[in-house]
């Protein structure tokens, strides 16, 4: 009787193994990148690995709040943000976990990676200076120069609540210290042509409308004026010049689109495979090309529109991780100098 029961049990196990479905191979990504064109990127990953990518899109702060609310039950495996400041917020909230990858370490330069291996950059976005060609013969060549008295009433720049400006301020704190950074911020406020308003494109429009002579913007907002019909920008874009700041010094400030592994990732191995895939030439070209950004991996060709701006010397001495580390100090300075 015992042997019969044993044989039946073994047979049942064999049958169940035959008919039970295999565990799904998937990875869940929470992304603040709002590009439908990212789908070919994930399709390529699935083609190479057989792992399905499930994507949830929202603003970074919304995704962070969602992950906090979900807690240990969060399905998020990977978090994608479009700036270091917000991935820093996720790190501070305990929503990320470190991971070691020889591939990522070899492909991504140290200044574009978190020192604790919490995240890394997948593409670079430079914050540069633009100017009116017909009114400015010698434009400012550095961020510091923007605060000089000769530019009083001539500068257009976004509000202090803008994450791009917060990260720029955080980098200046790291380079010069808080007191010098505060002096710079006060100088910018004194040089503003108008109260901060709108996005980066609006700063460029301010040059064409004559409201300001110089403006600060991420580089790709300018490039959109070439590849799209941007109202108030495209028609006059040839009248705008640009400067890569601090080329004779530390280099131009860059922010990053970033990728990180979620702390409660239910598919940890698949998450790491996806993160490593993000450093491939295919993914790097895709990330950069979709928003006219610069690849994080050297040697990856630029897309045609980005190549219009050429190559520049980035700030490689200031680790991008300080953007999150100095975020609170940056906002305090903005408040103290009344940078709206």
pLDDT for residue 220: 95
Tell the CATH superfamily of the 126-252+324-336 domain. Periplasmic binding protein-like II (3.40.190.10)
Q: Is the pLDDT of residue 252 over 80?
A: yes
* Residue partners of 135: CB distance under 8 A and separation at least 6: 213
pLDDT for residue 18: 36
Q: pLDDT by residue (tens digit) across 200-247?
A: 999 999 999 999 999 999 999 999 999 899 999 999 999 999 999 999
Q: Is the pLDDT of residue 132 over 80?
A: yes
pLDDT for residue 22: 39
From-to residues of CATH 3.40.190.10 in the chain: 24-124+255-305, 126-252+324-336
Q: pLDDT by residue (tens digit) across 48-85?
A: 999 999 999 999 999 999 999 999 999 999 999 999 99
pLDDT for residue 9: 31
Q: Is the pLDDT of residue 16 over 70?
A: no
pLDDT for residue 24: 66
% of the chain surpassing 70 pLDDT: 93
Domain 24-124+255-305 class, CATH top level: alpha beta
Angle subtended by helix axes 84-92 and 163-176, to nearest 10: 80
Interval 281-285 mean pLDDT = 95
- Token pair of 189, please? 């406020």
């Amino acid at each position: 009787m015992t042997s019969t029961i044993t044989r039946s049990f073994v047979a049942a196990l064999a049958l169940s193994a035959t008919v039970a479905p295999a565990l799904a191979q998937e990875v869940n990504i929470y992304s603040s990148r709002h590009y439908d064109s990212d789908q070919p990127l994930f399709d390529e990953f699935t083609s190479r690995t057989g792992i399905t990518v499930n994507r949830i899109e929202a603003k970074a702060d919304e995704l962070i709040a969602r992950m906090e609310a979900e807690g240990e039950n969060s399905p998020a495996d990977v978090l994608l943000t479009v700036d270091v400041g917000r991935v820093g917020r996720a790190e501070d909230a305990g929503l990320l976990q470190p991971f070691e990858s020889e591939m990522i370490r070899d492909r991504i330069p140290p200044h574009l990676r978190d020192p604790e291996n919490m995240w890394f950059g997948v593409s670079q976005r430079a914050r540069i200076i633009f100017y009116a060609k017909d009114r400015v013969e010698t434009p400012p060549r550095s961020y510091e120069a923007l605060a000089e008295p000769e530019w009083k009433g001539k500068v257009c720049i976004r509000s202090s609540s803008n994450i791009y400006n917060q990260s720029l301020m955080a980098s200046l704190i790291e380079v010069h210290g808080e007191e010098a950074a505060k002096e710079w911020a006060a100088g910018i406020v004194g040089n503003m042509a108008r109260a901060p308003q709108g996005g980066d494109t609006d700063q460029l429009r301010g040059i064409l409308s004559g409201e300001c002579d110089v403006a600060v913007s991420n580089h790709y907002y300018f490039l959109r004026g070439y590849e799209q019909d941007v109202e108030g920008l495209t028609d006059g874009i040839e009248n705008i010049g640009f400067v890569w700041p601090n080329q004779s010094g530390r280099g131009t400030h860059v922010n990053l689109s970033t990728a990180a592994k979620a702390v409660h990732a239910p598919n940890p191995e698949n998450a790491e495979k996806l993160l490593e895939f993000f450093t491939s030439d295919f993914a790097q070209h895709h990330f950069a090309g979709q928003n006219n950004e610069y690849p994080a991996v050297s040697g990856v060709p630029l897309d045609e529109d980005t190549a219009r701006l050429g190559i520049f010397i980035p700030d490689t001495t200031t680790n991008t991780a300080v953007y999150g580390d100095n975020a609170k100090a940056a906002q305090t300075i903005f408040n103290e100098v009344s940078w709206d």
